[in-house]
Amino acid sequence: MSDLELMAASLDAIIDPVTHTGLVASGRANGLRLADGRATLVLDVTGLSVEARNSLEAQVEKVLRQVPGISDVRIAMTSEKVTRPLIAIASGKGGVGKSTVSTNIAVALKRAGLRPGLVDADIYGPSQPLLTGSEGRKPEAEGQKLNAVETPLGIPLLSMGHLVAPGQAIAWRGPMAGNALSQLVDADWGHANVLVADMPPGTGDVQLSMVQKHKPAGAVIVSTPQDLALIDATRAIDLFQKANVPIIGLIENMAGYVCPHCGEVSDPFGAGGAEAAAKAMGLNFLGRIPLDIDIRTASDAGQPVAAGTGPHAQVFEGIAAKIAAWLAAQGA
């Protein structure tokens, strides 16, 4: 076995964290050279978090220094810009459970085999640190770019809730909020191959910055069944359509309440409104999520129901499957 073959064999003993094959077999390690005891190579770190990059670099240097005849190791790390489709989870008004839905969709997409990152684009009212159990964590920066925070759910997240003190009001005008949004979206998302953006309610400055600067691949609209929520949801749909952002579909949240004592189903917010609206507008209906205390308590505990089993997890599994199928059809 030649020296270069020995180098390649040593590198293939290290498992690529994305493809789960050896580094040479996956194409992550290439350009191998050995001269006068110095080993050089190019290490492609595209799609890896900073922590994963550092770990991989250390492993490469360690195994190569164990190869007879190698006294020095030089590693050139390179990374291509990764284009990730961004899915905006939006509503025309507050109080429809959009943030809880966003978290559960991200979890369900992960369980479906994607690698989602979660952007808390609700600059003035960030809630994702609580919903993901990542309160108190602070993102690090590399140069001018933030590194996404790893959450206990295994989903990278960035939120203004990670950057300001708990309870601190964010009283910024539109341009500052737009700049903050860009810092979150344009961060280092590591291995994520799709971003889920929890949008603020309404159709204001942050929404305009998102559609103009970051061009979501598609939008999911969350509404309750009641007429007032549907009127506001229609405004959100109009905003995205005017910006040529495709509407992936509508979700009807808080649809039906099952009494835990008698089992009777009631509809405090009405029933079927979002589904009927989707049909009237020629849009996909993605699913109906019940009004259930288990969803709320699990979210407050940072343990979304989509991460578990049972009927609620299955609801989000079905919604995520439709979103994943839509992404696949777009070639994203």
pLDDT at 92 over 80: no
Mention every residue, 6+ apart, whose C-beta is less than 8 A from residue 36: none
Full residue range of the structural domain in which residue 23 is found: 3-78
Q: Which residues are CB-neighbours of 8 under 8 A, at least 6 positions away?
A: 24, 32
The per-residue pLDDT for 32 is: 92
Q: How much is the pTM?
A: 0.74
- The predicted pLDDT at position 191 comes to 82
Residue 254: pLDDT over 80: yes
- Of all residues in the chain, the percent with pLDDT exceeding 90 is 48
Q: Are residues 202 and 311 in the same domain?
A: yes
Residue 15: is its pLDDT beyond 70? yes
Judge if 166 and 237 occupy the same domain.
yes
Question: Where residue 116 sits, what CATH number does that domain have?
Answer: 3.40.50.300
Task: Average the pLDDT over 300-316 and give the result.
Answer: 91
Residue 173: how many CA atoms within 13 Å on its side-chain side? 1
Q: Which of 47, 78, 109 is the last residue of a domain?
A: 78
- How far are the Cα atoms of 116, 120, 149, 174, 300 from residue 178, in angstroms, in the given order? 22, 13, 20, 6, 28
Q: Are residues 130 and 232 in the same domain?
A: yes
Tokens linked to 195: 């971003």
Same domain for 67 and 9: yes
| Closest residue by Cα to residue 116 from 164, 158, 178 | 158
> Same domain for 12 and 103?
no
Q: What percent of the chain has pLDDT above 70?
A: 93
How high is the mean pLDDT of the chain? 87
pLDDT, tens digit, 9 for 90 and up, residues 143-159? 778 999 999 999 999 99
167-to-124, 170, 307 alpha-carbon distances in Å: 11, 9, 28
Do residues 272 and 123 both lie within one domain? yes
Helix, strand, coil distribution of the chain in percent, nearest 5: 35, 20, 40
Residue 57 has pLDDT above 90, yes or no: yes
Gap between the Cα atoms of 155 and 318, Å rounded = 19
pLDDT for the residue 168: 76
- CATH number of the domain encompassing residue 25: 3.30.300.130
Residues 73 and 90 in one domain: no
Q: How far apart are CA 8 and CA 113, in angstroms?
A: 30
Tell me how many domains the chain contains: 2
